[in-house]
Structure 1
Amino acid sequence: MDFSPRGIIPPIITPFDGGGRVNEPVLRALTDHLIGQGVHGLFPMGTTGEFYAVSDEEYRRVIETVVSQTAGRVPVYAGTSHITTRGTIRLIHLAEQAGADAVSVLTPMFISQTQEELYGFYRTVAESTSLPIILYNNRPKTNVTIEPATAARLAEIDNIVGIKDSTGDFTNTEEYLRLTRGCKNFSVLLGRDTLIHAGLCYGAAGAIASCANVAPRLAADIYDKFVAGDLRGSLEAQFRLAPLRIACEMGTFPEVIKEGLSLQGFEVGNCLEPIAPLPPSQRERLRAILCEMGLCREGGLAS
């Protein structure tokens, strides 16, 4: 399959209004903003997009909105994660109908699968669609992992084109890279924003980086400067991004990402309950971090 995920791909947040409804105008504005800042793709309905909190109709609307607003400028990777195989396939078909360019599939949540069950799950999912598929490994959230040997087996399936590694375990990332070196058109993407530069040095193709919602140009610099041969500049951009990723520990993910965008003037709302807004003291700490990073809005941050 001739599709190679690369670069910095923000898992775009889902903006909600005060009634908990998808805020389509803000989603369109954020889509334009991120593309204008130089990101290399958009990924609606990932963990950062609160995929677990929306109905099928809301899901469809989000994907359609991002696809139509993107208008082919960058690829759109739709998150299609569900606890069951049939649920995942249902979401993939919705993503197909909405015009997504590729899909990302998390390991099923709550249940603890064997590696053979994971292989069978992804093989069945791959057979259900002609879209490119990116495996998504997020053991800290699911307590399930795609072991490197299993990833290497899955990489042999034609339309499985990559894996996002959000474990934060760089040895695991390195093993994905080492064991898939001989697989044509298979990319490894970082899912831990503090490890993007390191991953590129090992041969990763980029990152699905939540902090790129708030700092898109800075995150894109890590990749763009690396590709241009400016390794020092890439590393410096990585160091500048790190405080924002570390600040995400202040609240339940992805509330810090949403509050960061709010402080920049985007009316994205808060995460859906039961996730709570940041306490005032932590919001002020986040404000200070953004200002120190040069991410304050002209004329000051919004309240």
Structure 2
Amino acid sequence: MTFKPYGVIPPIITPFTSEGKVNEAVLRELVNLYIENGVHGLFPLGTTGEFYSFNEDEMKKILSVVVEETAGRVPVYAGANHITTRGVIEYLKLAKEAKVDAVSVLTPMFISQSQDELYHYYKSIAESTDLPVIIYNNKPKTNVTVEPETVARLSEIDNIVGIKDSTGDMTNTEEYIRLTRNNENFGVLVGRDTLIYAGLSYGAVGAIASCANVAPKLVVSIYDRFMAGDLKGALDAQFELAPLRILCNMGTFPAVIKEGLVMQGIDVGKCLEPIAELNPEEKQKLREELKKLKLI
């Protein structure tokens, strides 16, 4: 497997019309906006993209639009998340048909698995496809975690090429990196936007960063400056980004991300119910932060 994840990859939001349909025109607009701002990949159907909202036809539409509009300029990573192994495998077929470059697979939700079950879950998924597979670990959302020793075992499977760690636990991220650091075909991606610089310092290969939807140029600059050896510039950019990411704790995720785009004049619509809009006080806090960042 030659595919290697790297850089800043926004888990792109899914724009909706007022009727709750996927807004294809705005989705295409977002693809071009992010690429023009230097992102290194695009990731539809992630948590930020409300992946849990869609049937198979809607998933096909989202993936085909993103792949078509991207036109090979950057890799496209597709979320393929389901509680069962067979459910994920069916979604992998959709991703393959859409001609994405790689897939991200979340740990199963609702049920609680042993580490041996998680190992066989990802092993079976990887063996079912020739697509590169990225493990998605998000314990705060699923109450399930892939332990570092399990990740080390999984990294030996040829087409399991990385893991996104959204735990916010830097020791966990560090252990993923430490235990896989001699495997050139496996990379660790940071999933918490406040920890991009820290992750890169340990040896992470990049970040899947939700705030790259709202401030793509700023988030990309953390990675680009770090890779160019401008550590002070990268850290300054990380500090500049941090307040925006912390504001994402307002409301129900990803309401802040969508509202941030709306405030910039991009008609992405609302999150699907039951996620509610931010209240007036929360919107004002977000507006003030976007002004500080010169995004509005």
Range into which the TM-score falls when normalised by the shorter chain: over 0.9
Corresponding residue for residue 165 of structure 1? 165
Question: Is residue 73 from structure 1 mapped to residue 95 from structure 2 by the alignment?
Answer: no
- 1:266 & 1:127 partners in 2: Cα distance? 40
Question: Is residue 154 from structure 1 mapped to residue 154 from structure 2 by the alignment?
Answer: yes
- 2:137 & 2:269 partners in 1: Cα distance? 28
The superposition leaves residues 222-256 of structure 1 with CA deviations (integer Å, 9 ceiling, x where unpaired) of 00000000000000110011011000011100010
Corresponding residue for residue 247 of structure 1? 247
The superposition leaves residues 88-122 of structure 1 with CA deviations (integer Å, 9 ceiling, x where unpaired) of 11111100000100000000000000000000000
Counterpart amino acid of residue 166 in structure 1: S
The superposition leaves residues 140-175 of structure 1 with CA deviations (integer Å, 9 ceiling, x where unpaired) of 000000000000000000000000000000000000
- 1:109 & 1:53 partners in 2: Cα distance? 15
How many residue pairs were aligned?
Answer: 296
Query: Which range moved further: 229-238 or 180-189?
Result: 180-189
Runs (5+) with no aligned partner, structure 1 = 297-303
Counterpart amino acid of residue 35 in structure 2: I
Corresponding residue for residue 274 of structure 1? 274
Return structure 1 stretches of 4+ with deviation > 6 angstroms: none
Corresponding residue for residue 259 of structure 1? 259
- 1:144 & 1:287 partners in 2: Cα distance? 34
Once the two structures are TM-superposed, the CA of residue 293 in structure 1 deviates from its matched residue by 1.3
- 2:24 & 2:86 partners in 1: Cα distance? 28
Q: TM-score, structure 2 length as denominator? A: 0.99
User: For residues 210-229 of structure 1, what are the structure 2 equivalents within 5 Å?
Assistant: 210-229=210-229
SS class of match (2:200): helix
- 1:184 & 1:279 partners in 2: Cα distance? 46
SS class of match (1:235): helix
SS class of match (1:177): helix
The superposition leaves residues 269-301 of structure 1 with CA deviations (integer Å, 9 ceiling, x where unpaired) of 1110000000111111110010011111xxxxx
SS class of match (1:168): coil
Corresponding residue for residue 290 of structure 1? 290
Once the two structures are TM-superposed, the CA of residue 184 in structure 1 deviates from its matched residue by 2.8
Corresponding residue for residue 184 of structure 1? 184
**Identity of paired residues, percent?**
67
Question: Is residue 31 from structure 1 mapped to residue 35 from structure 2 by the alignment?
Answer: no
Runs (5+) with no aligned partner, structure 2 = none
- 2:181 & 2:36 partners in 1: Cα distance? 33
- 1:192 & 1:99 partners in 2: Cα distance? 28
Counterpart amino acid of residue 255 in structure 1: A
User: For residues 83-162 of structure 1, what are the structure 2 equivalents within 5 Å?
Assistant: 83-162=83-162
Once the two structures are TM-superposed, the CA of residue 192 in structure 1 deviates from its matched residue by 0.1
Q: TM-score, structure 1 length as denominator? A: 0.97
Corresponding residue for residue 301 of structure 1? none
Once the two structures are TM-superposed, the CA of residue 70 in structure 1 deviates from its matched residue by 0.2
SS class of match (1:249): coil
Counterpart amino acid of residue 260 in structure 2: G
Once the two structures are TM-superposed, the CA of residue 186 in structure 1 deviates from its matched residue by 0.3
SS class of match (1:136): strand
Corresponding residue for residue 63 of structure 1? 63
Corresponding residue for residue 51 of structure 1? 51
- RMSD of aligned C-alpha atoms? 0.5
